Amino acid sequence: IRIPAVLVTNSGAELGFQNLSSVTTDDTAAAAAAVGYLADMGHRKIAVIGGEREYSDTGRLRYAGVVRALSERGMTFDAERYYKTAHYSFDEGYAAMAELLRETPEITAVFAMADVMAIGAARAIRDAGKRIPEDISLIGFDGLPICRYYEPRLSTVTQQISYMAEKSYAVLLDAIENDAPARHISAPYTLEKTDSVRKI
How do residues 160-186 score in pLDDT, each as one tens digit? 999 999 999 999 999 999 999 999 999
pLDDT at 93 over 90: yes
Reported as a single tens digit per residue, the pLDDT across 134-157 is: 999 999 999 999 999 999 999 999
Alpha-carbon span 153 to 46, nearest angstrom: 20
Could you write out the DSSP letters of every residue in 123-192? Answer: HHHHHTT--TTTT-EEEEEE--THHHHSSSPPEEEEE-HHHHHHHHHHHHHHHHHH-PPP-EEEEPEEEE
Measured in residues, the chain has a length of 200
Q: What is the pLDDT of residue 103?
A: 97
The C-alpha atoms of residue 9 and residue 30 are separated, in whole angstroms, by: 13
Q: d(Cα 54, Cα 151) in Å, to the nearest integer? A: 34
Hey, how many other C-beta atoms are within 10 angstroms of the C-beta on 168?
Answer: 20
**Res 55: pLDDT:** 81
